[in-house]
């Protein structure tokens, strides 16, 4: 049985693993795919200490740091279950592999909620994005669409209003579900056009996105844009802990300020955990916090 099992190969899990290696802990890092949200990101311009990079470059740096610390992740293993056993926990993976640890850090992240329309997959990272804060600066001086009507969409408008030349806010319903103060702010921006009761049906372009189609009032319309940011929420990758850990209504693992989950000895961090602020710097910080608290928990166990 290991001291620790880390589940997740994004920046959160990798940060926890680096700190675990530096503390000479007996641990294992398992991941469906190494990289996490790095694989979704274009340019990264807001990580402290790194002026400008890309998701791919950032991922390569992290992988190099894993190798430097002698860490060999177990890739291609997706966690499908976790159970309490004598002395710790057993994590079961889709391929039949199991790993046991006295503690567990869950860092499985979240995935953007997709529209599931033609062209969405083809133009991902070529004009279609899922995070206004992360990717909004890519569209400086350009005409874009932001799709959604909740807090994340309107916060995206607020963030990009001074970046994009014009923003088309496409909302599926007539009313917004965002906080009223956000609705009032967006209504005051001169470069924002609201298209309500509109359903985005497709994206089109050549090597890059050139526009989208939407249905409104029984007719199909084309909207030429240089970029489209889909902000209809995120889905935490926490289905495998259902019935074992407490989760929020949205499916995030409930944690306290020490990243402790509802079962003693289990910690959660990053996009899969409650807090719902999807930023690399927060994910890395929580990964560090989770590891330090797990290490402290193990120290207490050894003293008992």
Same domain for 103 and 207, yes or no, is no
Single pTM value for the model? 0.77
Mean pLDDT, the chain, whole residue set: 94
Which residues contact residue 257 at a Cβ distance below 8 angstroms, ignoring those fewer than 6 apart?
none
Domain extent, residue 137, equals 114-230
Which of these is catalytic: 93, 134, 226, 271? 134
Q: What's the distance, CA 21 to chain centroid?
A: 24
For a pLDDT cut of 70, what percent of the chain falls above it? 99
Same domain for 152 and 9, yes or no, is no
Q: Does position 290 have pLDDT exceeding 90, yes or no?
A: yes
pLDDT band at 276, cuts 50/70/90?
confident
Rounded Cα gap, residues 261 and 47, in angstroms: 27
Rounded Cα gap, residues 276 and 234, in angstroms: 9
Task: Out of 230, 245, 272, pick the residue that ends a domain.
Answer: 230
Write down the pLDDT at residue 131: 87
Same domain for 27 and 165, yes or no, is no
Which residues contact residue 206 at a Cβ distance below 8 angstroms, ignoring those fewer than 6 apart?
none
Active-site residue, 134 included: yes
Same domain for 131 and 205, yes or no, is yes
Same domain for 197 and 271, yes or no, is no
Same domain for 107 and 181, yes or no, is no
Same domain for 96 and 242, yes or no, is yes
155-214: pLDDT as tens digits: 899 999 999 999 999 999 999 998 898 999 999 999 999 999 999 999 999 999 999 999
Write down the pLDDT at residue 285: 97
Same domain for 216 and 248, yes or no, is no
Residue pointed to by tokens 């949200």:
37
Which residues contact residue 15 at a Cβ distance below 8 angstroms, ignoring those fewer than 6 apart?
283, 284, 287, 288, 291
Rounded Cα gap, residues 186 and 13, in angstroms: 36
Same domain for 97 and 239, yes or no, is yes
Task: Out of 186, 202, 230, pick the residue that ends a domain.
Answer: 230
Active-site residue, 135 included: yes
Task: Out of 209, 230, 251, pick the residue that ends a domain.
Answer: 230
Domain with residue 205: its CATH number is: 3.50.50.60
Active-site residue, 288 included: no
240-274: pLDDT as tens digits: 999 999 999 999 999 999 999 999 999 999 999 99
* CA-to-CA separations, 64 to 14, 59, 71, 252, 263, in angstroms, rounded: 11, 9, 10, 30, 33
Q: What's the distance, CA 16 to chain centroid?
A: 17
Helix-helix angle 180-187:151-160, to 10 degrees: 40
Same domain for 122 and 17, yes or no, is no
74 closest CA partner among 45, 94, 49, 102: 94
Which of these is catalytic: 3, 93, 131, 226? 131
3-state secondary structure of 61: helix
45 closest CA partner among 271, 227, 279: 279
Which of these is catalytic: 3, 93, 135, 271? 135
Number of structural domains (the chain) is 2
**Cβ(33)–Cβ(9) under 8 Å?**
yes
Q: How many residues does the chain have?
A: 304
Task: Give the DSSP H or E segment for 181.
Answer: helix 180-187
pLDDT band at 41, cuts 50/70/90?
low
Same domain for 147 and 287, yes or no, is no
Same domain for 192 and 118, yes or no, is yes
């Amino acid at each position: 049985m290991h001291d620790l099992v880390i589940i997740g190969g994004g920046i959160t899990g990798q940060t926890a693993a680096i700190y675990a290696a530096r503390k000479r802990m007996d641990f294992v890092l398992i991941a469906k795919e190494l990289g996490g949200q790095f694989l979704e990101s274009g340019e990264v311009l807001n990580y402290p200490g790194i002026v400008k990079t890309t998701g791919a470059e950032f991922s390569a740096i992290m992988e190099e740091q894993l190798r430097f610390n002698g860490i060999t992740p177990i890739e291609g293993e997706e966690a499908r279950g976790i159970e309490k056993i004598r002395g710790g926990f057993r994590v079961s993976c889709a391929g039949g592999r199991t790993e046991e640890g006295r503690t567990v850090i869950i860092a499985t992240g979240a995935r953007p909620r997709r529209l599931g329309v033609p062209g969405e997959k083809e133009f991902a990272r070529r004009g279609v994005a899922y995070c206004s804060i992360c990717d909004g600066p890519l569209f400086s001086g350009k005409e874009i669409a932001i799709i959604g009507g909740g807090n994340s969409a309107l916060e995206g408008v607020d963030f990009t209003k001074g970046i994009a030349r014009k923003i088309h806010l496409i909302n599926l319903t007539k009313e917004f579900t965002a906080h009223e103060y956000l609705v009032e702010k967006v209504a005051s921006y001169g470069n924002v056009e609201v298209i309500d009761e509109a359903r985005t049906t497709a994206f089109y372009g050549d090597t890059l996105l050139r526009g989208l189609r939407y249905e409104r009032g029984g007719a199909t319309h084309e909207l030429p844009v240089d970029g489209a940011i889909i902000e209809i929420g995120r889905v935490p990758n926490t289905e495998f802990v259902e019935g074992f850990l407490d989760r929020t209504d949205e499916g995030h693992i409930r944690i306290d300020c020490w990243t402790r989950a509802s079962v003693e000895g289990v910690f959660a961090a990053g996009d899969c955990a409650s807090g719902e602020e999807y930023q690399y710097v927060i994910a890395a910080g929580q990964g560090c916090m989770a590891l330090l608290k797990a290490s402290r928990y193990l120290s207490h166990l050894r003293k008992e």
